[in-house]
Amino acid sequence: METATSSDFSAALAAVAGVEGWLTDAQARRLWDAARALPASAQVVEIGSYRGRSTVVLARAAEARVVAIDPHAGNDRGPQEIEGYASEAESDHEAFLANLERAGVSSRVRHVRRFSADAHAEVDGPIDLLYVDGAHRYRPARDDIREWGARVAPGGTMLIHDGFSSVGVTLATLRLLVPSRSFRYLGRTGSLIAYRRERAPLARNALRQLAELPWFARNLLLKLAIVTRLRRGEWPY
């Protein structure tokens, strides 16, 4: 017999079945488990919502309200969609609102329509669960991990999409998290990499993350093969 939690998760997956985005079922489960473990008083923040796929999963799992930060401005929209998507951005925004409504979570999500760097004043206090899936270029990814990561409460969780997959996110991770003593690497679900804010042994924490580099190399080769049309298939994430 299904437990209440697994049937709730199945319902959340069904709610996002038609929502475009980049989140596998296994990654949705990881978000779900992290959000589900939190009390109603917790703070959940998502950077990069797109059409609401991950937002809906977080909001259906969490008792707490979710702050979703996304400018819907047409930049860094998805793989190979860095600039020039202004007209699609408005449709993304409308689809985001409609998808939240359809999934019954509109009242549980506060959308901050700003770039993450300009959204700090919109979020008070420490963050218990931070999901980073905004701009994937090096600088904004680095700033999200550094500035928003600094706001994760001790014992809190930071989940980052496209880790050891996107070049920008991976370089930011190598710079900030591989040599970190304050974020313990917990592992990954596909490209969704997970950290807990707690003191971590430097060498072991670094080695665990560096051990993911062969998988990163494999993702780069796959992307190269897709871009050069040597291979068809889904962009790895």
Sites of contact with ligand SAM (CB under 6 A)? 21-23, 47-50, 53-54, 69-72, 75-78, 92, 115-116, 133-135, 140
How far apart, in whole angstroms, are the C-alpha atoms of residue 61 and residue 165?
A: 26
DSSP 160: E
The secondary structure of 75-88, three-state, reads: CCCECCECCCCHHH
Three-state DSSP class for 217? Answer: helix
Q: Which is closer to ligand SAM, CB of 32 or CB of 115?
A: 115
Nearer to ligand SAM by Cβ, of 192 and 206: the residue is 192
Point out the residue whose Cβ comes nearest to ligand SAM.
21
CB of 112 to ligand SAM, least distance (A): 9
Residue (205 or 219) nearer to ligand SAM, CB = 219
CB of 61 to ligand SAM, least distance (A): 14
CB of 127 to ligand SAM, least distance (A): 15
| β-bridge partners, 130 | 45, 158
For ligand SAM, which is the closer residue by CB, 111 or 184? 111
Separation in Å, CA 151 to CA 138, 157, 168, 185: 20, 11, 21, 17
